[in-house]
Every structure is written in structure tokens, then in C-alpha cells.
Amino acid sequence: MLEAADTSRISRRTTPPTWLVVALACAGQFLVVLDVSVVNVALPSMRADLGLSASGLQWVVNAYAIAFAGFMLLGGRAGDLYGRKRMFLVGLGLFTLASLGGGLAQDGWQLLLARAVQGLGAAVLAPSTLTLLTAAVPEGPARARAIATWTAVGAGGGAAGGLVGGVLVDVLSWRWVLLINVPVGALVLAGSVLWLSESRAGAGRRLDLPGALLVTAGLATLAYGVSQTEAEGWTAAATLVPLAAGLALLGLFLAVEARTALPLMPLRLLRRRTVASANAAMLVSGSAMFCMWYFMTLYAQNVLGYSPLEAGFALIPSSVAVLVGSKTAPRLMRRAGARTVAVAGTLVAATGFGWQSAMGPHGAYLTAIMFPGILMMLGAGLAATPLAALATSGAAPAEAGLLSGLINTSRTMGGSLGLAVMSTVAAARTGADGGPAALTEGYALAFRSSTGVLLAGAVLMLLWLPGRAAPAAAG
């Protein structure tokens, strides 16, 4: 009895307030998403300082993205089995140490290795951020608001990457786009050790190692194939072989999971309408929306002549818009339902993408960047929150980390695939001419193509996402 009383006192003393759990989870998510985009403006300085080749420079971005996408599903399941707090700390620790190693790198291979380890840490960390949040907040309006905050912070991290990177490179050096993660990561790590409570599901179960290896190898190989498209094209053997191998490995993963007693990803989850439809919608919409920051930054710098810092400031209204959309979504979900809000947000984003596709080589800031950017990101914020809520609604404790990893994987893989496709589309239209007019035509075609993808995504959501009654718990 004395032991039970002591355990009870410890549990009460260590149970953190909900707002603190949300804050720590969002801080981890911000770091993860920020590092996807913050290095872009630092690439020329990295190349000059470390003597990287053109292909090596591409791998500064790809090493992170491939490790991130390839290990995320495994990271989510590990959190369920071994503890969400433990995996949060492991992922954040890896991420922070790799950031320090990358910032201190003296050779190109050291930087690439650090970026790959960063991606691995992010893959373990990202699913735990959403799982800790959903475990701390009961289903209903409160959870929808918490997920909206998580979505807004994640989107804000991607939006802030260009601005933060521009400031750090201009004021300090390229190394600080990585070193800045160290004090922030250490602070979040200390707070998490002190204030987060451990939770897990499926105690006593073992990780499905064959399934984990197959899905990780499949996603990583597929992501590698996607990353090759911009340099090699879609018909080259260097692209087709890893794409085919990745799809084959994923097919083998599904076959193994169907026959395993305790699978990494129970296939019955994909028969759940909310899970399958929300992840498919996130994959499609993410493939279009993710490329917005990339092409807007290139347009501002390569065509309109903005400096990296000016380009970052030019996109601040878009960053604010995604926060507004994410925080407004829960209120709209209670009135109209998750499906309606997701479809409406996607249509708003499609309107912005369509407007942006009319860009010219001498565009004015208000009509060529600010207003279309606001529409694109307002719609992105409105759509992402209900999709994340639907994908994790009704999850049993043993499934929470897996579903969080799955929705993050859908978004990341959709974004990686979409960026590769749209980059190829833009390059094909631009051709060998690198002048402002030719570049503008390429970027405009990419935005037009993204508009079509978003419209198709809106139809998919309207037909497949559950109606108002089903997602009541999510909104």
C-alpha cells in the first residue's frame, strides 16, 4: 500500500499541465519542419566553403529528406512500444547532436552524414510530437484546437525557413542554420525530461523487425528515386530502378504484414475510412502545397532580384496566413464538419495557386507574391488541421504513434514526390534558357499543374472523406 501511495504521489507530481505538453510537442515539430527548408538559402555558402559538387549540394537536402521519410513509420511504432517520451527524447537528442556535427563540419561528407542523422532523429521525433499531444488532450474540440496549434507551428516552421536562413547567413554564417538548433534543442530536451510523462501501449510486444526493415528500405529507396528525377529525368535508369525497387519492397512489406501475427502496421487500419481517406488526401494535397515555398523563393530571387533576406521577408504574410488558417479551422469544423473545411481549404489554396500561375517577369509584390501567397497558405492551414484530426480520431492507445507516423509519412512523401515532379515540369518548360522570362514560364507551369492537383484533391476529399457525423470527435 505504501508503494502504491508513493506511485500515486509521483504520478500526480509529474503529470504536466496540458498546455506544457502541447508547447513541448510543438517545439519539437517546429525544429523538424524548419530544417526541411532552412538550409536552402545557405547552399551556395556551403558549396563555397566545403567545396561541394553540384550533386553533393543536392544531397545536403536529400540526405535529410530520405532519412526522414524512410524511418518515420518505424519511429511512430517504436514510440507506441517503447514509450512516447523516450522516443521523443531519443529523436530530439539525435537531431540536436547531428545539428552540432553539421555546423562544425570541415568536409562535405561530414555535412552529408550529419544531415542523414538529422533526418533519422526527425523521423523518431516527429510522430512522438503528435502522439504526446493526442495522448494529453481528450478527443473533441480541445484536441482539435491542440492539433490546429501543432499544424500551425509545423507549417510556420516550413514558412519561416527562408527568413530564418536568410538572417543567419547574412548576419553570421551558413553554419548557424544548423547550430541554431543546438541551444533550442537542448532547452526543449531539458524541459521534456523534467515535465513530460511517459506513456506507451502494447507493453511486452516486440517490434516487427522484418516489417520495419522492409517499409524503411522501401520508403527510403522510393524517396531516393524521387530525388533523382530532377537531375536525371523520369526515364533514366538511375531513376526507374530505385523507384521500381522501392515499390517492390513496399509490396513485399504489405505481403509480410498480412501474414504476421503482430505486424508493424495492421492492415485493418487502412480499411478504416477515416485513416485511408485522410492519408490519401494528405498525400495528394501535400504534393502540391509543399512546392509553394520552393518556387516562390526562387521566383523572388532569380526573377525579381530579391536577396535571400528580402525573399524571406516577402513571404511573412504567407506565414501569418497559414497560422490563421490552422487556428481558424477548429471553429469551422464544429459548425461545418471536418470534410467541408478540408475541401474548402483546398479550394482556397487552389485559387491562390491559379492566381500565382499568372506571374510575370516584372510582377509587382502585392499581386505577384503577397496576395496569392496568402490564399495558398490560408487554404493549406484550413485543410491540414481537419485531415490530421480525422487521421488520428478514434485511435486506440496502441495505435496512436503508428497513425501519427502514418499521417506524417503521407505528408512528407507527398511533398517530396510533388516537389520532384513540379521541378521536372518547370525545368522542361524553362529549357536551356536561364533568363527571367524563361524561368517565369517554368515556375508558372508548375503552379498551374499544382492547381490541377489540388482540384483533383478536393474532389477526392468530397467523395471519400466521411461526412459530418463521422468526424464529430475530431472537430
Please compute the mean of the pLDDT values over residues 125-145 and round it to a whole number. 73
Is there a contact between 250 and 69 (Cβ–Cβ < 8 Å)?
no
Question: What pLDDT does residue 401 have?
Answer: 63
Give every CB contact of residue 464 below 8 A, 6+ residues apart in sequence. Answer: 273, 276, 277, 280, 281
Answer yes or no: is pLDDT of 162 > 60: yes
Answer yes or no: is pLDDT of 472 > 50: no
Question: What pLDDT does residue 473 have?
Answer: 39
- Cα–Cα dist 243/245, whole Å: 5
Question: What pLDDT does residue 245 have?
Answer: 94
CB atoms within 10 A of CB 319: 23
pLDDT digits (tens, 9 = 90+) for 236-251: 888 899 999 999 999 9
pLDDT digits (tens, 9 = 90+) for 118-132: 988 988 887 777 777
Please compute the mean of the pLDDT values over residues 37-59 and round it to a whole number. 74
Cell of 337: 464538419
SS3 9: helix
Question: What pLDDT does residue 373 have?
Answer: 93
Residue 237 exposed, middle or buried by CB count within 10 Å (0-12, 13-18, 19+)? exposed
Please compute the mean of the pLDDT values over residues 90-115 and round it to a whole number. 90
Averaged confidence pLDDT in the chain: 81
> Where do runs of H (alpha helix) occur along 83-180?
84-103, 108-136, 141-171, 176-179
* Highest mean pLDDT out of 74-78, 235-239, 355-359, 413-417: 355-359
- Cα–Cα dist 74/71, whole Å: 5
Residue with cell 520508403: 219
Question: What pLDDT does residue 58 have?
Answer: 67
Answer yes or no: is pLDDT of 349 > 90: yes
Report pTM: 0.76
Question: What pLDDT does residue 474 have?
Answer: 39
Give every CB contact of residue 10 below 8 A, 6+ residues apart in sequence. Answer: none
HSE-CB of 355 using CA atoms within 13 angstroms: 19
Please compute the mean of the pLDDT values over residues 182-197 and round it to a whole number. 82
C-alpha 189 chain-centroid distance: 21
pLDDT digits (tens, 9 = 90+) for 207-218: 777 887 888 888
What are phi and psi for residue 126, nearest 5 degrees? -60, -50
Answer yes or no: is pLDDT of 163 > 80: no
pLDDT digits (tens, 9 = 90+) for 15-29: 667 777 777 777 777
Q: Report the CATH superfamily, name and number, of domain 17-196+264-473.
A: MFS general substrate transporter like domains (1.20.1250.20)
Is there a contact between 425 and 417 (Cβ–Cβ < 8 Å)?
no
